[in-house]
Amino acid sequence: MNPLLAAALLCLLLLGCKKASPLTDASAAATAHVYNNAFTVVSQVSVTPAELASMNQKNTAVAYWYEVMKDKTEGVNSNAEMKKLKAQGYKINLTIGNSLFNNWPGGIQADFSRYKVINRAFGGAAAEHMMAYLEDLGVEYADNLFLYFGENEFLPNFRKDLVDDNIIRAINYWKQKNPKLKVVCVLMQVCPSLWVDSGFRLNFAEAGNKEIEDLLNKKLREFAATRRSNVKIADMNRAMKNRGYPPTPKTECFVTQTINGKTQQVHMNAAGYKIWRDVLTPFMIR
């Protein structure tokens, strides 16, 4: 193994590194950012997928650890802030998910000024990653939890069929810790790139919306139906599609980006976030 990598890992072990997300050999990244417990970068090293998978297996990898732990301990989204709001009698709406929450123009709290909204999403994350941080996302302080995952699960070698299993497992775990918790499962929307481009970097086939509904949204609907009193569905899938048959994504609500030389529409613009605001507002509590 790279000597610099070995030294960084030794440093992490001595400092008591926090457990990180389990990554498979095939889905591992090519670069690891290694941090210590003071959130300082120890090193940036090139690693093979096998090395990074081995790091994860030994609980020394750092996928998302910095982002999650920084939000946990610092700033307006921290556990300390949530604890203070609870002491003041506020109801806390907590968001956990991927970059669609993080990219909210001006921050999600700005669009829900009548409510207290804490965002603990981490960009690029899949539901699989969330499972490594069940104790770190501040759910014990929340009154109302919004969960959204989906797009990143369509990266090659991720298990799309396990997305809902992970979400349901997380909800059941958090409900044991916080029995009064209310949960809103935000159904995965269909971004234009997943809809039409079988050669898109997310490696999605032409099955389109049907596969998404079969693998993700259908199971969440069924789960919510068994937990009517405390698990609700926010149907973002329907809200972000045009009427008519066959339904199509509202392409005007997405930003066109070029990444690695390929044009894509995954993230939203202000028009898309307006729809999200309108859909989520009825589920907010205060």
For 3-47, the pLDDT digits (tens) are 444 444 434 333 333 333 333 333 333 444 443 333 333 344 455
Architecture of domain 76-283: 3-Layer(aba) Sandwich (3.40)
Threshold 0.95, pTM exceeds: no
For 80-134, the pLDDT digits (tens) are 999 999 999 999 999 999 999 999 999 999 999 999 999 999 888 888 888 888 9
pLDDT at 216 over 70: yes
Domains of the chain: which residue ranges?
3-63, 76-283
Q: How confident is the model at residue 39, as a pLDDT?
A: 35
pLDDT at 149 over 80: yes
Q: Which residues contact 218 (CB under 8 A, 6 or more apart)?
A: none
For 175-196, the pLDDT digits (tens) are 999 999 999 999 998 888 776 5
Average pLDDT over all residues of the chain: 77
Q: How confident is the model at residue 228, as a pLDDT?
A: 78
Tell me, what amino acid is at 221?
R
